[in-house]
Chains A and B, each alone.
Chain A
């Protein structure tokens, strides 16, 4: 079995009275990981703990089997990081900064120059490599930040809100770049509160809410869950209550009910409940569950 990408055990971090991470526990496999949650859910704090910048109040965190607390230097040699804001000196050219960013990770100068050129080409900034970073647009800056995160050939990159401030075209370009990283042998952890972006890029979801893990699963598991949408003519509450009594999870959306079952076939359960209650049905169809649905569902349960 391959080494997990991330192992978290009872991880807690507080800023004074504000609890940013509250007993976060979970194992995340290698691949393209989406770290999702609302603003203030603890995403950036978790990333800083994984980099060893923040020392957690309690618990442990490992990345690629290395402790983020005790093996910080060894870990950082294998990790790249794209911060949410800043990170680029405006008075340096893109090429110079990439060379410097590689050398900071111990890459010798000659190899650093080659890698800087390669990654700037990769992110589409080769023509702009001799421009000062302060003259870059937001989209170019985000691509430059991604370039510095991979210039030293890390095994995993932590991307903190990489799509922030980008226009639709820029988002598309960035998502395609992130999607390519796995093919280079680089695992990714992408933090975002834009769920559709995560859905199109990642294959595993780590969902945080108020510093707690509310979901840690493969993205495919969301789709595989048996969810059915039912629209009834009247008495939604009574039908919902009966469905819950039959072991289903129910969300009421006006006249529509979103029904999820764990063990039983949802269509059988609905049929039995409608017969039992005598309520007429207008529509019945398989639910298309998106990451946003799952987030709203999971958030509602906490």
Chain B
């Protein structure tokens, strides 16, 4: 890009037999990848930051601790099933139900998201790094999309890997062979993936929103967890089968319960008394609320960041 010729190596120090060379400055004559290259770089950077990679050891403790807490029980279930039934399994067994595993992994996902969303957004703002992004060929939308994609992608993997371990591990113990197990348990895959997306966006959207405005990581994580827990308590305060309009209006605010409502809906399970169920609203409303929240967060995020770029 620059017109300057490639600088030649200049010998700047020569003492006895040794010599030090100043290579000077060499312009970049190669290709430039444009915004797609910048987007990929932001994804990689976000992943490293969220997982504490290429950071000090302390930055790795919580994310990898949560990842281990999500994966180890799945492996443990497969191991226990093997101990109990060997390779003679005829159905998923008492612990291999993917819908049931969402019950356990849901809270861990909440904590993972509470940690990851602020880590992706707040340091750039608080340390003035947005000024560097603003001096590169990057738009606010590119930055926000890359950060959101990192959050949602990592959360998807966080929930998907243990489910895959369950799916493949349990299927591998089937008496008719792993192929038969994969086919039989494969019937649950659409419901599992749909539920997973409900958790990813249902938990990730509000976390992203809090991280857009909070100034400190700890405060953002704390506020997010508190809001989600309070929204769960909101459902508990509602009388079952209430027809009162005020509860019908409040039920969609029970953010924590919506992914679980979607799970019960997709797995065709009896609803466990989540807010929407208590006020008699159909479970698809939970999915609609999640989509609405994600869109609203996207709009707010762009309004918040466009003046920085």
Is A53 at the interface (CB under 8 A from chain B)?
yes
**With a CB–CB cut-off of 8 A, which chain B residues contact A87?**
127-129, 131-132
Is B216 at the interface (CB under 8 A from chain A)?
no
Complex interface: stretch among A106-114, A206-214, A226-234, A290-298: A106-114
Q: Tell me if A83 and B128 are in contact (CB < 8 A).
A: yes
Q: Tell me if B129 and A103 are in contact (CB < 8 A).
A: no
How distant is the Cα of A92 from the Cα of B35 in the complex, in angstroms?
23
Q: Tell me if B134 and A53 are in contact (CB < 8 A).
A: yes
Interface string of B272-309 (1 = CB under 8 A from A): 00000000000000000000000000000000000011
**With a CB–CB cut-off of 8 A, which chain B residues contact A154?**
1-2
Is B16 at the interface (CB under 8 A from chain A)?
no
| A87-B131, A121-B23 given; A96·B54 CB < 8 A | yes
Contacting residues of chain A (130-149) with chain B, CB-CB under 8 angstroms: 132, 148-149
Considering only CB atoms and an 8 Å cut-off, how many residues of chain B contact the other chain?
44
Q: Tell me if B33 and A106 are in contact (CB < 8 A).
A: yes
Out of A83, A86, A104, A186, which one reaches B41, CB within 8 Å? A104
How distant is the Cα of A106 from the Cα of B26 in the complex, in angstroms?
17
**With a CB–CB cut-off of 8 A, which chain B residues contact A80?**
135
How distant is the Cα of A104 from the Cα of B37 in the complex, in angstroms?
7
Interface string of B1-24 (1 = CB under 8 A from A): 111100100000000000000011
Contacting residues of chain A (38-92) with chain B, CB-CB under 8 angstroms: 51, 53, 73-74, 76-81, 83, 85-92
Q: Tell me if B25 and A81 are in contact (CB < 8 A).
A: no
List residues of B whose CB falls within 8 A of some A CB.
1-4, 7, 23-28, 30-35, 37-38, 40-42, 45, 49, 54-56, 59, 123-124, 127-129, 131-139, 308-309
Considering only CB atoms and an 8 Å cut-off, how many residues of chain A contact the other chain?
47
A286 to chain B, nearest CB (A): 39
Is A128 at the interface (CB under 8 A from chain B)?
no
Is A36 at the interface (CB under 8 A from chain B)?
no
What 19 new A-B contacts, CB under 8 Å, besides A89-B123, A111-B28?
A53-B134, A74-B137, A76-B137, A86-B128, A90-B127, A91-B49, A100-B41, A100-B45, A103-B40, A104-B133, A104-B136, A105-B137, A106-B33, A107-B28, A108-B33, A122-B25, A153-B2, A155-B2, A185-B4
Select from chain B the residue with minimum beta-carbon distance to A153.
B28
Is A193 at the interface (CB under 8 A from chain B)?
no
How distant is the Cα of A85 from the Cα of B24 in the complex, in angstroms?
28
B193 to chain A, nearest CB (A): 32
Q: Tell me if B55 and A91 are in contact (CB < 8 A).
A: yes
**With a CB–CB cut-off of 8 A, which chain A residues contact B124?**
89
A44 to chain B, nearest CB (A): 11
Q: Tell me if A106 and B25 are in contact (CB < 8 A).
A: no
Select from chain B the residue with minimum beta-carbon distance to A86.
B128
Is A18 at the interface (CB under 8 A from chain B)?
no
A269 to chain B, nearest CB (A): 47
**With a CB–CB cut-off of 8 A, which chain B residues contact A121?**
23
**With a CB–CB cut-off of 8 A, which chain B residues contact A152?**
28, 136
Is A118 at the interface (CB under 8 A from chain B)?
yes
Is A216 at the interface (CB under 8 A from chain B)?
no
Q: Tell me if A115 and B28 are in contact (CB < 8 A).
A: yes
Is A190 at the interface (CB under 8 A from chain B)?
no
Select from chain B the residue with minimum beta-carbon distance to A160.
B131
How distant is the Cα of A152 from the Cα of B56 in the complex, in angstroms?
27
**With a CB–CB cut-off of 8 A, which chain B residues contact A83?**
128, 131-132
Out of B4, B32, B55, B309, which one reaches A106, CB within 8 Å? B32
| A87-B132, A121-B23, A122-B25 given; A104·B138 CB < 8 A | yes
Q: Tell me if A184 and B7 are in contact (CB < 8 A).
A: yes
B240 to chain A, nearest CB (A): 48
Select from chain A the residue with minimum beta-carbon distance to B134.
A53
How distant is the Cα of A40 from the Cα of B54 in the complex, in angstroms?
40
B88 to chain A, nearest CB (A): 50
Is A173 at the interface (CB under 8 A from chain B)?
no
A38 to chain B, nearest CB (A): 22
Is A93 at the interface (CB under 8 A from chain B)?
yes
How distant is the Cα of A51 from the Cα of B133 in the complex, in angstroms?
11
Instruction: Please give me the 8 A-B residue pairs with the lowest Cβ-Cβ distance, nearest first.
Output: A86-B128, A185-B4, A81-B135, A103-B41, A106-B32, A185-B2, A184-B25, A153-B28
Is A273 at the interface (CB under 8 A from chain B)?
no
Q: Tell me if A111 and B30 are in contact (CB < 8 A).
A: yes
| A76-B137, A104-B136, A105-B32 given; A88·B129 CB < 8 A | yes
How distant is the Cα of A186 from the Cα of B4 in the complex, in angstroms?
8
**With a CB–CB cut-off of 8 A, which chain A residues contact B40?**
103
Is A239 at the interface (CB under 8 A from chain B)?
no
Select from chain B the residue with minimum beta-carbon distance to A81.
B135
A56 to chain B, nearest CB (A): 14
**With a CB–CB cut-off of 8 A, which chain B residues contact A184?**
2, 4, 7, 24-25, 27
Select from chain A the residue with minimum beta-carbon distance to B33.
A106
How distant is the Cα of A106 from the Cα of B139 in the complex, in angstroms?
13
Out of A51, A86, A108, A180, which one reaches B31, CB within 8 Å? A108
Is A270 at the interface (CB under 8 A from chain B)?
no
How distant is the Cα of A121 from the Cα of B32 in the complex, in angstroms?
23
Q: Tell me if B54 and A106 are in contact (CB < 8 A).
A: no
How distant is the Cα of A101 from the Cα of B129 in the complex, in angstroms?
10
